């Protein structure tokens, strides 16, 4: 490695650490020395190694400049990142994209401002809405037969659509507003659907003042021609809107956890960058962790030197895995046997974006697509479909619920990124080797054999068996798949999932008002079945599907609405299959006499007896 491959901040930090200074400043461990006098401290020091402790220094070391003031080596590092990632300005954010998103809100949104956000956004966006007392206008994701979280349809990026949403919002005070202050889109979606970002920039140019692409899962768009025009900082088209991109460098690139970048490009109307600096200061600790900052600096250098190769290799590994699964699918199908399918276009797959477009009429997608060029699927995010659902959301005779496969994989030391009812998501990050991908394939085959042998539940899920022996007594994996699938089929779960976003709940109060109910002591817990008509304090977010069904301040709809039926169904399933419970944010579960009950937090009724 030549010196020119060592980026500026990392270089300065290393040079400083090598000098073995005596520090009369924080942190108190004083280069790790303080740890060595106790056994656990010594172990900790030795486990992580002395270089880490030599590099964990106070922000008062002047030769390392200032992270918070963007001066010296930190400023050089951020400036280079802006060049490499295609931004005018880049900040390294040391509390993840959760914080980067909040920084954008603090820099652009004032109380009462309208913000247009996808309902499939990350929870940090809702936190930012609450913190800034913004008024959300929601974009809805497309329903999908496979329970995959769809992208937002482009028909929602028109003046008519936005105007009508504002006009029908109970919370917007300026009903005639032609513009929203900020629009937030998740690019790519969790499941790897990438927007034609340049088209969106043009479509929204006169409809929003600022645009934020949350690219937490997609920090690499700039580094491979496959993604051209489809990422926030893409150099075309003509500059009109000021655009932000928040990226979790730690998620699919190679930084330490919490290492994120916030990129910004100016538009016609200039944003005073001081606002962005202040917003960042409001969220940053005054004691930044230097090794974390250095890891972002190094990631810039890696992407500058090897970005294309890194991506190309990861894409190659992902394509090979996709082909191997498809080949096996065909082989099993010949014998009339089930196997996993990959959610992807069925044609021969090369690294040509044309092959990865979601096109109208393609039935592999399970969603209605209106135009050729709006979305592509990212080959790096691989969704495996387990048997059970057809492309029209109807359910097949036999099925293999994905949560059982995921539990099996977990027992074999393989952790899945996301589990749906009949799908599993695997991320092919640059760190995934061919060996690791081959191992995954092997274990998926093993599952198939264990299923065929109807291997005892007791063998693979001993912990669940130990807790609920009567439920799972004498059951094998195939038996378990059968009873669970029959139950899911009986409840028509996939159509219910697809219908979740067809009718949005009524917005009763702004999200921040619902939240302030907590500190004002104006909230109570009620049983889920008693919630209709009451106003939710929290975001209700079931996994799967992983998109909030009720936002803070929204009213629980009637018991026979798709949302309530879906939530109550989950309560029922939890009772039938203990150990395989649905995960939730915003629902409190209690167990009594072996029975699960769901509770939700709602605002107290007002004096007039009306909810909120
Ligand atoms: C993970 C995630 C975030 C938050 O990122 P962190 O770096 O974990 O704070 C924001 N947005 C989306 C879409 C995410 O998936």
Pocket of ligand 1 contains residue 217 by CB under 6 Å: yes
Mean pLDDT within 18-23: 80
In angstroms, rounded to a whole number, what is the distance separating the alpha carbons of residues 520 and 604?
A: 11
pLDDT in tens, 435-487: 999 999 999 999 999 999 999 999 999 999 999 999 999 999 999 999 999 99
- Contacts for 542 with CB less than 8 Å, ≥ 6 apart: 549, 566, 567, 570, 582, 583, 584, 587
Distance from residue 101's CA to the centre of ligand 1 (Å): 9
pLDDT tens, position by position, 356-415? 999 999 989 999 999 999 999 999 999 999 999 998 889 999 999 999 999 999 999 999
Q: Which uninterrupted H or E stretch holds 72? A: none
Given a cut of 90, whether residue 5 has pLDDT beyond it is no
Quote the CA–CA distance of 136 and 139 in Å, as a whole number.
9
- Give the pLDDT score at 611: 56
Ligand 1 center–CA 220 separation, angstroms: 15
Q: Kindly report, residue by residue over 481-537, the tens digit of the pLDDT.
A: 999 999 999 998 998 888 888 889 999 999 999 999 998 889 999 999 999 999 999
Band of pLDDT at residue 551, cut at 50, 70 and 90: very high
Distance 259 CA to ligand 1 centre (A): 11
b/e sequence 373-411, b meaning 16+ C-beta within 10 Å: ebbbbbbbbbbbbbbbbeeebebeeebbbbbbbbbbbee
pLDDT at residue 92 in the model? 98
Model pLDDT, residue 326: 94
Residue 608 has pLDDT above 80, yes or no: no
- 213 pocket-lining for ligand 1 (C-beta < 6 Å): no
Which residue's CA is the nearest one to ligand 1's atom 5? 97
Q: Which tokens belong to 249?
A: 């460098």
Q: Is the CB of 260 under 6 A from ligand 1?
A: yes
Question: Using a 6 Å cutoff on CB, does residue 554 contact ligand 1?
Answer: no
Q: How far is the CA of 212 from the centre of ligand 1 (A)?
A: 13
| Mean pLDDT within 11-31 | 88
What pLDDT score does 340 carry?
A: 97
Provide the β-strand partners of residue 553: none
Contact yes or no for 9/74 (Cβ under 8 A): yes
Q: What is the mean pLDDT of the chain?
A: 94
Check pocket membership of 124 for ligand 1, CB cut-off 6 A: yes
Give the distance (Å) from ligand 1 centre to CA of residue 244. Answer: 15
Cβ atoms of 514 and 552 closer than 8 Å:
yes
Q: Which atom of ligand 1 is nearest to the CA of 258?
A: 7
Average pLDDT in the 31-44 region?
Answer: 94
Taking CA atoms only, the protein residue closest to ligand 1 atom 8 is 96
- Please enumerate, as own/partner, the contacts of 571-574 that have beta carbons within 8 Å and a separation of 24 or more: 571/528, 571/596, 571/597, 571/598, 572/491, 573/487, 573/488, 573/491
Compute the CA torsion angle 54, 56, 62, 64 (nearest 10 deg): 90
Q: Of the candidates 468, 36, 418, which has an alpha carbon nearest to the alpha carbon of residue 251?
A: 418
- Calculate the dihedral angle through the C-alpha atoms of 471, 591, 535, 509, rounding to the nearest 10 degrees: -100
191 lines ligand 1 (CB under 6 A): no
Indicate if ligand 1 lies below 6 Å from the C-beta of 132: no
pLDDT at 612 over 60: no
- Residue 55 vs residues 52, 110, 291: alpha-carbon distances, Å: 5, 39, 6
pLDDT of residue 501: 85
* Radius of gyration of the chain from its Cα atoms, rounded to whole angstroms: 25
Does any ligand 1 atom lie closer than 6 A to the CB of residue 216?
Answer: yes
E-only strand ranges, 87-129: 89-93, 114-118
Report the separation in Å between the CA atom of 592 and the middle of ligand 1, taken as the mean of its atom positions: 35
- 189 close to ligand 1 (CB < 6 Angstrom): no
Residue 214 pLDDT grade (very low, low, confident, very high; cuts 50, 70, 90)? very high
Tell me the per-residue pLDDT of 254-283, one tens digit each, with 9 for 90 and over: 999 999 999 999 998 889 999 999 999 999
Residue 86 Cα to ligand 1 midpoint, Å, equals 21
Q: Mutate which of 251, 284, 299, 543 to test ligand 1's pocket (most atoms within 8 Å of Cβ)?
A: 251
Residue 236 has pLDDT above 80, yes or no: no
Q: Is the CB of 538 under 6 A from ligand 1?
A: no
Query: Residue of the nearest CA to atom 1 in ligand 1?
Result: 216
Share of the chain above pLDDT 70, in %: 98
- Residue 97 Cβ inside 6 Å of ligand 1? The answer reads yes
Ligand 1 atom closest to the CA of 259, numbered from 1: 7
How many whole angstroms from 32 Cα to the centroid of ligand 1? 32
In this predicted model, which residue has the larger pLDDT, 174 or 577? 577
Over residues 303-357, the pLDDT tens digits come to: 999 999 999 999 999 999 999 999 999 999 999 999 999 999 987 678 999 999 9
| Ligand 1 and 539: CB distance under 6 A | no
CB distance 76 to ligand 1 below 6 Å: no
CA of 122 to the centre of ligand 1 (A): 6
Whether 10 is in the pocket of ligand 1, judged by its Cβ within 6 Å, is no
| Contacts of residue 181, Cβ cutoff 8 Å, sequence gap at least 6 | 108, 109, 110, 113, 114, 115, 134, 208, 209, 210
pTM comes to 0.95
Three-state DSSP at 382 gives strand
- Model confidence at 556: pLDDT above 80: yes
The residue with greater pLDDT, 299 or 238, is 299
The atom of ligand 1 lying closest to the CA of 186 is 13
The answer, yes or no, to whether residue 24 has pLDDT greater than 90, is no
**Contact at 8 Å (CB) between 210 and 230?**
no
If one residue of 100, 120, 124, 249 were mutated to test the ligand 1 pocket, choosing by the most ligand atoms within 8 A of its CB, it would be 124
Q: Does 22 have pLDDT greater than 80? A: no
> What residue ranges define each of the domains in the chain, with the CATH number in brackets?
88-266 (3.40.640.10), 307-496 (3.90.1150.10), 503-603 (3.90.100.10)
Q: How many CA atoms lie within 13 A of 77 on its CB side?
A: 35
Quick: pLDDT tens for 47-82: 999 999 999 998 888 899 999 999 999 999 999 999
Q: Which of 546, 406, 570, 543 is nearest to 481 (CA)?
A: 406
In this structure, the residue with its CA closest to atom 15 of ligand 1 is 216
Distance from C-alpha of 21 to C-alpha of 483, rounded to nearest angstrom: 66
**Residue 570 near ligand 1, beta carbon < 6 Å:** no
pLDDT at 114 over 80: yes
pLDDT at 509: 97
The Cα–Cα gap between 402 and 381 comes to: 17
Predicted confidence band of residue 607 (pLDDT cuts 50, 70, 90): low
Question: pLDDT category, 242, cuts 50, 70, 90?
Answer: very high
pLDDT tier at 241 (50, 70, 90 boundaries)? very high
| pLDDT exceeds cutoff 80 at 298 | yes
Phi, psi dihedral angles at 129 (to 5 degrees): -60, -45
Pick from 387, 569, 399: which is nearest to 493 by CA?
569
Of the given ranges (58-62, 184-188, 379-383, 423-427), which has the lowest mean pLDDT? 58-62
- For a mutational test of ligand 1's pocket, the pick from 94, 122, 218, i.e. the residue with the most ligand atoms closer than 8 A to its C-beta, is 122
Q: Evaluate: CB of 98 within 6 angstroms of ligand 1.
A: yes
Atom of ligand 1 nearest to the CA of 251: 7
| Residue 546: band (very low, low, confident or very high) from pLDDT cuts 50, 70, 90 | confident
| Strand ranges across the sheet with 341-342 | 341-342, 381-385, 423-427, 418-419
């Amino acid at each position: 490695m030549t010196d020119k491959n060592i980026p500026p901040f990392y270089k300065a930090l290393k040079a400083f650490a090598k000098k073995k200074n005596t520090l009369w400043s924080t942190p108190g461990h004083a280069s790790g020395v303080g740890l060595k006098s106790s056994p656990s401290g010594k172990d900790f020091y030795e486990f992580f190694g002395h270089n880490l402790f030599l590099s964990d220094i106070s922000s008062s070391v002047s030769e390392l400049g200032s992270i918070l003031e963007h001066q010296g080596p930190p400023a050089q590092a951020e400036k280079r990142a802006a060049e490499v990632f295609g931004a005018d300005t880049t900040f390294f954010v040391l509390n993840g994209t959760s914080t980067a998103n909040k920084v954008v809100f603090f820099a652009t949104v004032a109380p009462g401002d309208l913000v247009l956000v996808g309902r499939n956004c990350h929870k940090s966006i809702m936190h930012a809405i609450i913190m800034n007392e913004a008024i959300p206008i929601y974009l809805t994701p497309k329903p999908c037969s496979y329970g995959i979280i769809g992208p937002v349809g482009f028909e929602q990026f028109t003046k008519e659509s936005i105007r009508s949403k504002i006009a029908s919002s109970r919370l917007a005070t300026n009903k005639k507003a032609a513009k929203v202050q900020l629009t937030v889109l998740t690019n790519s979606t969790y499941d790897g659907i990438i927007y034609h970002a340049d088209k969106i920039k043009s479509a929204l140019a006169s409809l929003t003042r600022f645009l934020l692409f949350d690219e937490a899962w997609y920090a690499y768009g700039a580094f491979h021609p496959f993604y051209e025009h489809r990422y926030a900082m893409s150099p075309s088209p003509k500059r009109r809107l000021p655009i932000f991109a928040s990226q979790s460098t730690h998620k699919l690139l190679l930084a330490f956890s919490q290492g994120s970048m916030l990129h910004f490009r100016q538009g016609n109307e200039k944003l005073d960058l001081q606002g962005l600096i202040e917003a960042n200061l409001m969220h940053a600790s005054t004691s930044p962790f230097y090794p974390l900052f250095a890891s972002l600096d190094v990631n810039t250098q890696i992407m500058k030197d090897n970005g294309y190769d890194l991506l190309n290799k990861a894409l190659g590994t992902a394509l090979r895995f996709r082909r191997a699964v498809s080949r096996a699918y065909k082989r099993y199908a010949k014998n009339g046997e089930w196997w996993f399918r990959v959610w992807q276009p069925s044609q021969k797959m090369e690294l040509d974006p044309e092959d990865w477009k979601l096109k109208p009429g393609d039935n592999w997608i399970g969603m209605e697509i209106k135009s050729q060029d709006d979305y592509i699927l990212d080959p790096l995010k691989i969704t495996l479909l387990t048997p059970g659902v057809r492309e029209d959301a109807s359910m097949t005779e036999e099925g293999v619920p994905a949560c059982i496969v995921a539990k099996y994989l977990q027992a074999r030391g393989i952790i899945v990124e996301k589990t749906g009812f009949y799908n599993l998501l695997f991320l092919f990050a640059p760190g995934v080797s061919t060996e690791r991908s081959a191992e995954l394939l092997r274990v998926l085959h093993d599952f198939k054999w264990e299923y065929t042998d109807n291997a005892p539940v007791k063998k693979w899920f001993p912990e669940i068996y130990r807790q609920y022996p009567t439920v799972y007594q004498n059951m094998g994996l195939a038996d378990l798949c059968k009873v669970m699938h029959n139950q899911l089929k009986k409840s028509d779960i996939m159509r219910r999932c697809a219908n979740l976003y067809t009718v949005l709940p009524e917005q009763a109060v702004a999200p921040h008002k619902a939240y302030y109910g907590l500190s004002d002591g104006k909230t109570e817990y009620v049983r889920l079945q008693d919630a209709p008509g009451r106003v939710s304090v929290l975001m209700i977010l079931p996994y799967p599907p992983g998109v909030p069904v009720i936002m803070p301040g929204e009213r629980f709809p009637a018991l026979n609405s798709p949302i309530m039926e879906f939530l109550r169904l989950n309560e029922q399933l939890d009772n039938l299959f203990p150990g395989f419970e649905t995960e939730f944010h915003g629902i409190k579960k209690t167990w009594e006499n072996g029975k699960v009950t769901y509770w939700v937090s709602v605002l107290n009724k007002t004096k007039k007896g009306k909810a909120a």
